[in-house]
Structure 1
Amino acid sequence: MPEKTTSPTELTAQYITQVTDDLDRNVKEQDRIRGEITSLQEQLPALQHDHTVLVNMQQALGITGPPAEPAIAPESAAVPSPRQPASAGPSGRGKARKTTAAKTTAAPASPVAKKPAARAATAGKTAQPTLVELIRRHLAEEGEPRSAAEIAASLGQAHPERGIKTKVVRVTLEGLVAKSRAERSKQGASVFYTAPDAPEPAADTEATEEDTVPDPSTA
């Protein structure tokens, strides 16, 4: 009985169908990946904004320790240079050893160069009053209950360069209330803050503790 053979026309039709199906799947997969990339790019700015707000709140609460740093964006990641082929001759080995020795010698110089800049930045920050000092001074001058939004608006007008936020002011006020440096009262659904009635006995101690509270508006 003769075997059934497939003509070239049928083979061509099968290849065309397979290639068409593969191409269609490829296009759909590209569309799916593009959609995921767009969604992730839209979520990233919101996460970065939340990170900034959380860092400011952490500093206002006086939590010690370095804040969590955001991950490096893929486009900003350093691309490693291609590896150089090892030289077979002794001269290539000598050059590689000299380059390694030069890098090892030059490495410790970088932290030393950064110290003066860090000291200058620290001195600039300590020269201006902290947000805690501004809030306590404002409460003492007003002498009447003030909401966090009112305090933030007044301090924002007096110090526009600091970018004072209402949320940060509210967190700082709650920290002062917890340390008995401010009093909180509630009128309906609104919360108001006032300076404490009794004078604080240890002024020097309070000033020392106050210096340890970072200023979230300058972060």
Structure 2
Amino acid sequence: MTDGMDDAGIQARYAAQFAADLENNEKEQEALRARLAQLQTERSWLMGMRGTVAKEQEGAGKEAGKSAGTAGVPQPRRAKKAAATPAAQGRRKKAAQAKGAEAPKAPKATSARAKKSDGPTLGELVLGLLVRHHQPRMVSEVVNELGQAHPERVASTQVVRNTVEALVAKGKLERERKQGSVFYTAPAAEDAASGAAAPAAEPKAEEAAAKA
């Protein structure tokens, strides 16, 4: 009796398990059918889009071929320009007159130079400063002293350096490097002093020779 009840219970459990498995199987098949239908729909849409793109590319290629063929055909050369019309000749004359009127502006530069020549140049001021010092000076020192002595002629360090190098090139200043710094001197001051003293001594020598 007990064995029969046990067999019935086991069969019931197996039957329930088989029913559950069948239900799961049917659900999976339904899901797969839905996925398959979705994939088929997407495939149809992709094929339609591919055909549309292919048609557009084909049309663009034809248009490009037409434009290339049109560009390759040489256009007829334009006829040579006819003789200038009276109006064009008049414009050319006015342009020539305008250029001629602008030419006399050159004397303004001369007048500006003449105004600058009324006072000492930057080179003369720098040379005067170095001559008075009788000792080597750096460009920065020259700039500071120039600003103090002549505030109306303030110049940048680069301008003063260019001026000093120009004086060196002319032989009016000497340049030397000490401990990584560049110094400038005006040896012409001593030469000028000795040169000025020499002519004063010559008349005395001539007077002594005459008395003898």
Query: In terms of Rg, which structure is larger?
Result: 2
TM-score surpassing 0.5? no
With normalisation by structure 2, the TM-score equals: 0.45
With normalisation by structure 1, the TM-score equals: 0.44
